[in-house]
Structure 1
Amino acid sequence: MRVTSGFLKGRQVTLPKSSRIRPTTDKIRLALFSIIQDRIQSAFVLDLFAGSGIFGVEALSRGAGWVDFVDINVSSVKKNTSDIDIKNFRIIKKDFRRFLKSCEKRKYNIVFIDPPYGFYSPREILTLVKNNEILEKNGILIYEEHINTDIDYSGTGMKLTDERRYGDTMIRIFRGEQ
């Protein structure tokens, strides 16, 4: 898997050794970043359930101002960021619940959430993001899940603004309800 654009274009990214990891494909990342390209420059980005860190590395490559990579296993993220010349990121080894409840009121312009399919409640994750106020007022949350996952986002404080299907993957884009 490779970074698709920006100053790190073509950079090889190694994957964690886990059967639960299925990284976002190049095709999906290209499509997704074309949708959000006007928001990336200087953005504060959260890559939650970072896995390999490909989303955050891609965001840095395209000009994000800062990226927080969060996962309970950060070995692949460390490897994939070890020789990047810029240092406008941090790697946080934490369970997503603990991170969201204790993230120092940091606010993000873009939150990317790509949990292992079928292991976590999308409703719980969306509610935690909203309740802990980590999304900037005009920020977006991108949620990647299997197409058969039914995300009941009513009562989460998040508004679905776009959704796209790519094979068996569904990308949903949310904003916080005002």
Structure 2
Amino acid sequence: MISGSSKGMKLKAPKGENTRPTTDRVKESLFSMINSYLIDSFVLDLFSGTGGLGIEALSRGAEAAYFVDNNKMSIQVIKENIEHTGYKGKSDIFFADVGKMIKEFGQKEKKFDVIFMDPPYLKDFIIPCIEDIYINKILQEDGIIVVEHDIEDLLPDQIQSLTKWKEKKYGNTLITIYSKE
């Protein structure tokens, strides 16, 4: 379910167990923490799944959202959810490997204010992905990286010159936010 200007709209999710949409409770708390970063922001939703985080950001005032996933079913669901919520004109969807897209955004000198990451749990995607974001310089100077992950995925206080700014636990899920020093 979405809050903000699209409040009350429900999003579709792909069938099967490959996608794990962020719960409404976690999403509400997460967006309360980062709300001041969203107005007129450019958002990147990596490992998009349903597109829920990027769509929520749009609903709360983001200027544009870019969605990246390498699952065809997820891409189809993201397209349907964007159409349903009316954000087609503010969205770009990429069926691609996350690492490849980070490099491509870097080559195009595309920068983001908020980068969401909700990768498959316990698969060691997080640290290499954050390092790629840093190396390819796609995070704005005052931008943040928001990672949803399993509590067993322990993340360091610092990755490159990105520092853990906040961390909050919700059952078996952790939200960790990194920002530049």
Scaled to the shorter chain, the TM-score interval is over 0.9
| Closer/same/farther in 2, CA of residues 155 and 116 from structure 1, 3 Å limit | closer
Q: How many residues align?
A: 175
The DSSP-based 3-state class of the residue aligned with 1:33 is helix
Q: How many Å separate the matches in 2 of 1:80 and 1:143?
A: 22
Shift of 1:156: 2.7
Q: Identity over the aligned pairs, expressed in percent?
A: 34
Shift of 1:83: 3.6
Match of 2:162 among 137, 158, 161: 158
Q: Name the structure 2 match of 1:79.
A: 80
Range moving further from structure 2, 63-72 or 153-162: 153-162
Q: Name the structure 1 match of 2:95.
A: 93
In structure 1, the gaps of 5 or more residues are none
Q: How many Å separate the matches in 2 of 1:27 and 1:80?
A: 20
In structure 2, the gaps of 5 or more residues are none
The DSSP-based 3-state class of the residue aligned with 1:45 is strand
TM-score (norm 1): 0.93
Shift of 1:154: 4.4
Where is the helix percentage greater, Structure 1 or Structure 2? Answer: 2
Q: Alpha-carbon deviations, 1:47-74, whole Å to 9, x = none?
A: 0000000001111111100100111121
Range moving further from structure 2, 15-24 or 63-72: 15-24
Q: Name the structure 2 match of 1:171.
A: 175
Q: How many Å separate the matches in 1 of 2:53 and 2:159?
A: 28
Shift of 1:155: 4.8
Q: Name the structure 2 match of 1:19.
A: 17
- One-letter identity of the residue aligned with 1:38: S
TM-score (norm 2): 0.92
- One-letter identity of the residue aligned with 2:91: F
Q: Please give the root-mean-square deviation of Cα atoms over the aligned residues, in Å.
A: 1.3
